[in-house]
Chains A and B, each alone.
Chain A
Amino acid sequence: MAILVDRALEDEDEDDTGRSWRGRVSARQRRETAVGWAFMLPDAIGLMIFVVLPIIVALAVAFFSIDGFGQARFVGLDNFVRMGSDPLLVNSLAVTLIYAGCYVPLVFVAGLALALLVQRPFPGIGIVRTLFFLPNVMSLVVIAILWQFMLTDKTGFVPRGLSTVGLGDISWLGNPTYALAAIIMISVWFQAGYQMLLFLGGLGDIPNEYHDAAKLDGAGWWQRLFWITLPLLKPTSFFIAVTSIIGAVTGMQAFDLVFVLTKGGPANSTMTMPFYIYQQAFSYNDYGYAAALTTLLVGVLVLAVGVTFAATKGARFHAE
């Protein structure tokens, strides 16, 4: 995201018309302002009502108790105080942190490994790349249905396959120890091809001359990976890390997969924050508490992205 923001700001600097507004405003400029807003208007209104207003309402609703009929009552900080004595919240916060903490590094490494594997051509490479990406065009519901079928206890494809090595009795989705691991692996399988495409874009921008020069100096594959490829990939890596964190913490994948596969169980072991918030809002009609939980979740997200940003200095240190 920082890459986006910075580039946007540079664009603003380039055409420094902003200052002229403070001076004499010509008729042409007035006309252009009117036309500009006319072009912007449908999206400006829509974004205000359906994106900006919800953010404001979310913050406001967190201080109210709202029942199923829409009757609101101001309760101050009650919804936040209640968080302190909610063991399910602690649980789902932990689930989300474990999910993100495992998913983000795994999908990062998987995506990068796939990209390095298919970066240079071999016979049939187009089909191989296409197949890697294929899961990503299907919906999360289809993906979840697919894996629920594949993982069916004892008779499913995976337990049957694993029974040949004596692991056929594992209940992947029915055992609290394995259910979250299964959802993490399914998420990685779903998203790795997408990250591969982003990495391929980044790899394509690294000039071959760097690798050629390093080879002349006798650098091996691993040395070139760590001293040339990875440092030059930093902007791409940062983008992928941040978008994967957002996907894991507040993305659809943390809801759709859980909803179809486990409904948060067994024993709440897959109760991610988005799923818990959905339950509070739409199973118990407790919109106020759900809104308060959402602000907490956004806080977690901002913290995680902030830590990533600080740890990588916004992916800029390669340029120093």
Chain B
Amino acid sequence: MLSDIATPGPAARGRTRRERDGSHEYGRRWGWRAGVGYALAAITALPILWLLITALKPASETFSMSLGPWTLDNFSYVLTRIPMPRYLLNSAIVSIAVTFIALVFHSMAAYALARLRFRGSALMFNLIVATLMVSLPVILVPLFLIVRAMGLIDNLWGIIVPGIFNAFGIFLLRQNFLGIPRELEEAATIDGCGYWGRYWHVVLPLGRPILVSLGILFFLANWNAFMWPKTILSTQELWMVQQGLASMQGQYGSDWNYITAAAMIIALPTMIMFFFGQRALVNSIKTSGLK
């Protein structure tokens, strides 16, 4: 859970030590904070819980306030009667491909920017910082025209290739690699490592935590992407999960038992990734730009 990660810094550590001494474990008057916290957390989580319950109920109970009876029929319908497995496969292929290639390219670029002194490095770094603010809606139209000119419309490569290049990832890795002690690389040089050896045997292993964090962020971003797949994929066999879910609105307009089941299936991988990768994910968010 987020308890041990979310209060960093010397101040927090100092307090924890005092708490371990035993005088007041949670500070004074923690009762009302806990009460408000539980209430707000319940309000935040309730809609998600209700979505899950609805997905588990038969169609006749969709709009009743009852909590049951439960059935898995909606899930099996979504997985067998609509091409949901196909959407899941397409999304998995794209998300994993983008994440993997992006981590390789960005870590190489970040290593060059953090460690190598070369003509043009300042220019590249400034360019990366300048493009941090550019979001997809801003370049949607020209990007569509460019990808169309490359013949990648209605093609999963048209999602994967543009999805790889992301200034934020390079920036975050570069800031992180700056913190790797130079002595380790010098030691590797003495052992006969060249540039590639230092990148491969020193920087990548030491950068593992940030690479894992960034990998989770990339996977989530691609799995959750809607606008770009919606813009360039028209053949239904190529659709990705978010597009498939949004399209159910028209086709299954009032069959909320199916739509909620599909929404839960699509959200499940992101939630699993969140619960298992929480520490890594939270760390990368908190270090994004501020540290």
Contacts and interface: CB of A to CB of B under 8 A. Distances in A.
Interface in B18-44: 19, 25-27, 30-31, 33-34, 36-38, 40-42, 44
Nearest to A186: B47
B44 A131 contact: yes
A123 B246 contact: no
B136 A252 contact: yes
Given A36-B121, A39-B199, A47-B131, A142 B44 contact: no
A15 B117 contact: yes
Contacts of B273: 137
A19 B289 CA distance: 28
A51 B135 CA distance: 9
Interface string A166-210: 000000000000000000000001000110011011111111110
B190 interface: no
B129 to A, nearest CB: 5
A290 B140 CA distance: 10
B53 to A, nearest CB: 10
Given A21-B119, A208-B11, A61 B145 contact: yes
Interface in A103-158: 114, 117-135, 137-142, 145-150, 152, 155-157
Given A121-B19, A259-B226, A297-B138, 7 more contacts: A12-B125, A35-B195, A40-B124, A66-B145, A130-B1, A146-B48, A155-B63
> Counting chain B CB atoms within 10 Å of each CB, which of A139, A140, A252 scores highest?
A139
Nearest to B117: A17
A43 B165 contact: yes
Interface in A230-273: 235-236, 239, 246, 250-252, 254-256, 259-260
A22 B3 CA distance: 52
B258 to A, nearest CB: 11
A223 interface: no
A88 interface: no
A149 B11 CA distance: 44
Interface residues of A, number: 114
B142 A8 contact: no
Contacts of A297: 137-138
A32 B116 contact: yes
B242 interface: yes
Interface of B: 1-4, 6-12, 14-15, 19, 25-27, 30-31, 33-34, 36-38, 40-42, 44-45, 47-48, 50-51, 54, 63, 65, 105-106, 108-109, 111-113, 116-122, 124-129, 131-146, 148-149, 161-162, 164-165, 167, 170-171, 178, 195, 199, 220, 223-227, 230-231, 242, 245-246, 249, 256, 259-260, 263, 266-267, 270-271, 273-275, 278, 281-282, 285-287, 289-291
A145 B157 CA distance: 28
Interface of A is mostly: helix
A121 B113 contact: no
Contact of A46 (B31, B140, B164): B164
B141 A137 contact: no
A159 B76 CA distance: 30
Contacts, number: 336
Contacts of A32: 116-118, 195
Contact of B226 (A139, A294, A298): A139
Contact of B142 (A55, A133, A139): A55
> Counting chain B CB atoms within 10 Å of each CB, which of A21, A32, A145 scores highest?
A145
Contacts of A49: 146, 165
A197 B142 contact: no
Contacts of B133: 1, 246, 305
Contact of A128 (B37, B54, B227, B266): B37
Contact of B113 (A40, A127, A141): A40
Contacts of A119: 7
Nearest to A211: B11
Interface in A267-318: 274, 277-278, 281-282, 287, 290-291, 294, 297-298, 305
Contact of A204 (B11, B120, B140): B11
Contacts of A207: 10-11
A145 B245 contact: yes
Nearest to B15: A208
